[in-house]
Amino acid sequence: MVVGAGRAGCRIAHELARRLKIEAVLLDTDELTLRALQHRHSLLVGDRLLDGNGTGRDLSMGRDAFDGDRYRVVEVIDRVKKVFDCLVVVSAYGGGTGGAADVLIDELKRSYSEPVYHLGILPDEDAEPRVLANFAQSFRRIAEVSDAVFPVDVASLSRGRVQTQLNAVNRRVVECFSRLLRVGEYSSPEELGSRVLGARDVINTLSGVSTLGFAARELGKDAPTPELVVELTKQASSSPVLPCRVESASRALVVVYGPRKYTDFVGSIPARLWIEENVCAEVRGGDVPVRGAERVEVMVVYSGIAESERLRYLYALAKGAAEGRLQAAKLGERLRLLEAKAEEVASLAKGLHSLLEEVESGGRREG
């Protein structure tokens, strides 16, 4: 069951529901966002408090909105779908509504026995101070109430300025996580491989800070080999949606997609062995045969991650923004860059001066 909260969360949840052909509930304080998506299961939260005009990135208003509409949210979810294995809440940490998802998740945990996960969009380091400050206040709360969190670093998914590529980033998020949400959702026996994963395998893997990586290779005329699967597993592990030290993870799950004649014969076994030897001992693996597939794909999920320099850096930056120190920090960084450039220019000028002296002395000798 997918629940979108806030503008970014609603857009991603809407696209996940469309691609996976599942139901989703969209929640926002901004009426215009819900109207634009025209999703049939939507709820304008905090309408009595905010009159459908959004929070203006005010995190406290977002929390008040969800707090006042706790029971309405549960009623909508119950009407849409009564049976599910888990709930996935999608939102942006820096938004006034999305950042308040901890209040929403807290109520979902009270109302349902199923685990509740959070897929969260991290702010870019060049985001407005208000967005960074919201992240500093929201991340810990959301992580504490969720059974697992998937922080997504948009800078790692974009190619250039993040603000100009939000739609492309959203598409990549959907592409990655639709595969995870599809585990256990098999529509025909043809999709069942020799090693089948179910929703319970995902649930038993996820806990704490988690991340996901994906890699694929066209086959061409070459037959898939165990070495190819290991190579793709390495690639997926080296470029997850949250830059982190995957060796600090406590559990992993790997899924291999490809032609049945290959997945039934070797499949995820080489990937599992590589992860067990190089990352962590507790690994679950499975295969999904794809009819007419002309490439091999590997998805790796790591959970219980203890080390992420990117997350630590963004959180430190966000705390500076929350305490009013962001501009001073950025100014200091720019001054250091200017000093380095000045030293570089001075060194270059010194080198040119020496070269000119050599040329002049050489000319005098020739004369």
Helix (H) or strand (E) holding 352: helix 326-366
**Lookup: tokens for 42:** 């939507």
pLDDT tens-digit series, residues 182-230: 887 776 676 676 678 889 999 999 999 999 999 998 877 666 688 889 9
pTM, whole model, 2 decimals? 0.84
Please give the residue that has the higher pLDDT: either 336 or 124: 124
Percent of the chain with pLDDT over 90: 58
pLDDT tens-digit series, residues 29-59: 999 999 999 998 999 999 999 989 999 999 9
Helix (H) or strand (E) holding 111: helix 101-111
Residue 221, judged by CB atoms within 10 A of its CB (0-12, 13-18, 19+), counts as exposed
In order, the DSSP letters of 129-194 are: HHHHHHHHHHHHHHHHHSSEEEEEEHHHH-SS-GGG-HHHHHHHHHHHHHHHHHTT--SSGGG--S
Task: Domain 189-310: give its CATH code.
Answer: 3.30.1330.20
Q: Are strands 295-303 and 208-218 parallel, antiparallel or unpaired?
A: antiparallel
What are residue 46's phi and psi, to 5 degrees? 65, 25
Q: At what angle do helices 70-80 and 59-68 cross, to 10 degrees?
A: 60
Pairwise CA distance, residues 249 & 50, whole Å? 41
Of 160, 7, 146, whose CA–CA distance to 88 is shortest? Answer: 146
Contact 115, 206 (CB under 8 A): yes
Helices (runs of H) and strands (runs of E) counted in the chain: 15, 10
User: pLDDT band at residue 23, thresholds of 50, 70 and 90?
Assistant: confident
Q: Would you tell me how many other CB atoms lie within 10 Å of the CB of residue 210? A: 29
Q: Are strands 116-122 and 148-153 parallel, antiparallel or unpaired?
A: parallel
**Lookup: tokens for 327:** 């501009």
Provide CB contacts within 8 A for 245, sequence distance 6+. 305, 306, 307, 308, 309
Task: Domain 2-182: give its CATH code.
Answer: 3.40.50.1440
**Measured at the alpha carbon of residue 233, what is the angle toward residues 254 and 274, in degrees to the nearest 5?**
80
pLDDT at 222: 65
Domain edges within the chain: 2-182, 189-310, 330-366
Distances from the Cα of 155 to the Cα of 150, 246, 266, 311, 317, angstroms:
15, 18, 35, 12, 15
CA dihedral 123, 236, 249, 168 (to 10 degrees): 20
pLDDT tens-digit series, residues 131-190: 999 999 999 999 999 999 999 998 877 655 555 567 788 888 898 899 899 887 776 676
pLDDT at 361: 66
